[in-house]
Structure 1
């Protein structure tokens, strides 16, 4: 894995690992949950993006930037996911710190950005600013945590990084990563059984965030209102999505709590498609070690509720 360097504070270097766990920050709820599970009772990570803030559009406050500057380890997905966060990585505002990108972890499955039909952005949609991290979205779909196998790979990497920062507790971190993997396997098996009857039922999502989940569980997403980086859709794209709903006889169109549902209402009117809600970030969950399994379980429940309704 290509690591991005992290500069540790002098205070941490002088402190005993027995008395002070690393100060750890994680970007979004699912990553925070994985890190919290690996840390266990050795410490608690701090969550940067709280509530219904979009990972793609988040703008950071001075207090949040200060938190990044005092952290020993900062875990992010990277490669276009937290676009605004990438812009301040390595800056003086965060003491020159750059962050550990978990999308670089060994064993991560990476899927391409989908194109063709309703997946393909049209010419009217705004392009990412030149030189921005959002350009990295084009390399692969950054919503990697929605494949549970990727979550397990990230947990292993978090354990390695925590073990380097806190060698005294390295064995505990490794054991916690194994426990996380075992629990995630149980949840994945339950989801696979729950969604098995709904394979082949076409649906539309708000933005193209669910490729990993669909592929892992054999689901049939056929288009998205917005693209992989949640750019506002053009009128032309909305027309394409509406046509796709009708042609594919899509059962459901899913909105997200992070975004206005006006676009969903526009495309489903008169089509007979039902409206559902999917939350890829876990905005309504209590952050912590159980949030990841709750997040993917809630996705399954929402899909089942609409597709089987």
Structure 2
């Protein structure tokens, strides 16, 4: 009878578990830290899938319908979800709720990519208690949606998730708050370690495949010389390719970073005949195991992948 009693409690707990669905892996990693001890969050887009050109499947519609909370960046990244989620109560779009007004995508292919946007680049400990809850109702066209690449935004995302889950599932509010406090502590340490890893690489030139790293570059003060394309589904312009090739010939850049979701032949072509090294950065955390420490592991791996190439540690 005792075993049946505990089995009943377990089944009841599973039946009442909060179903969280995230669109991309970095959001799942952050959510996993907050839901630890409960139902792990699901992932809509499988690792290796780009949100830039995704098409919803019938099975996706069912998962979205059944979820208690769907966490997504917003139309700027997952445009395919806009008609479905714009009016749903279980939707948590992040971009309009984050203090990320100062980093925009450049919408022009043939631009001077040496321009960089300001962002808060102080260590996380200096701003961890800042609250920004008034970023609603603005026009966010062109805003960079890769918000998770700044630890300040990572912390805000975790707070938003904990707040929403506490409202949905007040019985477990203490657990969400405990997990959030643990997340903040670990994130401060991770931010310090990433800063230490990347500091020796400051000033070394590099190019990235697409314009996804603005928050990362600004926070860690390691700006790129530019990118091949704003939208990875669009081929870079001829002037951009020629300018990058000239920079590589002049040894202005040590590295060119590709991405695992895309295999642009243009990168291999543009580095041919130069001394530039080619490496891979994954802003979507495709090979990071999901779990409460996943976001920290992702940030550390991204920093290490970048530093290994820039500092020629291979």
Deviation at 1:211, TM superposition (A): 0.8
Pairing 1:184–2:187 present:
yes
Pairing 1:216–2:219 present:
yes
Determine the structure 2 residue equivalent to 1:165: 168
Determine the structure 2 residue equivalent to 1:271: 274
CA distances 1:180-214 after superposition (whole Å, capped 9, x unpaired): 11111111101111111110111100001011111
The residue correspondences of 1:46-195 to structure 2 (distance < 5 A) are 46-90=42-86, 99-108=91-100, 110-114=102-106, 116-118=111-113, 137-138=141-142, 140-195=143-198
Normalised to the residue count of structure 2, the TM-score between the two structures is 0.80
- From 300, 304, 308, the counterpart of 1:305: 308
Question: What is the CA–CA distance in structure 2 between the aligned matches of 1:106 and 1:54, rounded to whole Å?
Answer: 22
Question: What is the CA–CA distance in structure 1 between the aligned matches of 2:36 and 2:206, rounded to whole Å?
Answer: 38
Determine the structure 2 residue equivalent to 1:198: 201
Determine the structure 1 residue equivalent to 2:122: none
Question: What is the CA–CA distance in structure 2 between the aligned matches of 1:293 and 1:109, rounded to whole Å?
Answer: 24
Deviation at 1:221, TM superposition (A): 0.4
- Corresponding residue pairs, total: 275
Pairing 1:239–2:239 present:
no
Instruction: Report the secondary structure of 1:112's partner residue.
Output: coil
Contact map agreement 2:205 2:225 (CA 8 A) in 1: yes
Question: What is the CA–CA distance in structure 1 between the aligned matches of 2:159 and 2:145, rounded to whole Å?
Answer: 18
Contact map agreement 1:187 1:297 (CA 8 A) in 2: yes
**Runs of 5+ unmatched residues, structure 1:** 1-15, 121-134
- 1:269 and 1:18, CA in 2 relative to 1: closer, same or farther beyond 3 A? closer
Contact map agreement 1:207 1:230 (CA 8 A) in 2: no
CA distances 1:222-265 after superposition (whole Å, capped 9, x unpaired): 11111156533233432233234445711100000000141211
Determine the structure 2 residue equivalent to 1:5: none
- From 276, 287, 290, the counterpart of 2:290: 287
Contact map agreement 1:209 1:228 (CA 8 A) in 2: no
Instruction: Report the secondary structure of 2:37's partner residue.
Output: helix
Contact map agreement 1:81 1:137 (CA 8 A) in 2: no
Contact map agreement 2:208 2:227 (CA 8 A) in 1: yes
**Runs of 5+ unmatched residues, structure 2:** 1-11, 116-138
Contact map agreement 1:69 1:97 (CA 8 A) in 2: no
Pairing 1:256–2:259 present:
yes
